[in-house]
Amino acid sequence: MLFQCLRKWEFDDLHCKSQHKAYFDCTASAALTLQQFKMAARDGTLGESKMHESGASVAQINRLMTLFPQPGLGKRPYRKMKRLPDQSYADDIFHRQNKEGKRS
């Protein structure tokens, strides 16, 4: 509505005061809602409820994980069967020695 009014009056905003006011009220309320959302996310009151009072919410855990990243978690390649330096190559520590290989 605002842009139609501005186009009608050749971008003279004196005739479009009510549309201007409605537009700025809408943007102000959206900015306030966004600020409240960000504060709730920072405080951890947003999203899933706490299972018990002593536990942290999902938002708080995500915040802690971003502040203190864990090295190597969730990064490819996943090394589940990694041979440690003190383990011998001759030892069958992953129990692969008696398994059949890929059939052709």
pLDDT digit string (tens) for 16-58? 889 989 999 999 999 999 998 888 777 767 655 544 555 677 7
pTM: 0.43
For the segment 49-90, what is each residue's pLDDT rounded down to a tens digit?
Answer: 544 555 677 777 888 888 887 776 666 655 677 777 888 888
Read off φ and ψ for residue 26, nearest 5 degrees. -65, -45
pLDDT digits (tens, 9 = 90+) for 2-14: 888 888 888 887 8
Rounded CA separation 93/85 (Å): 13
* 104 against 7, higher pLDDT: 7
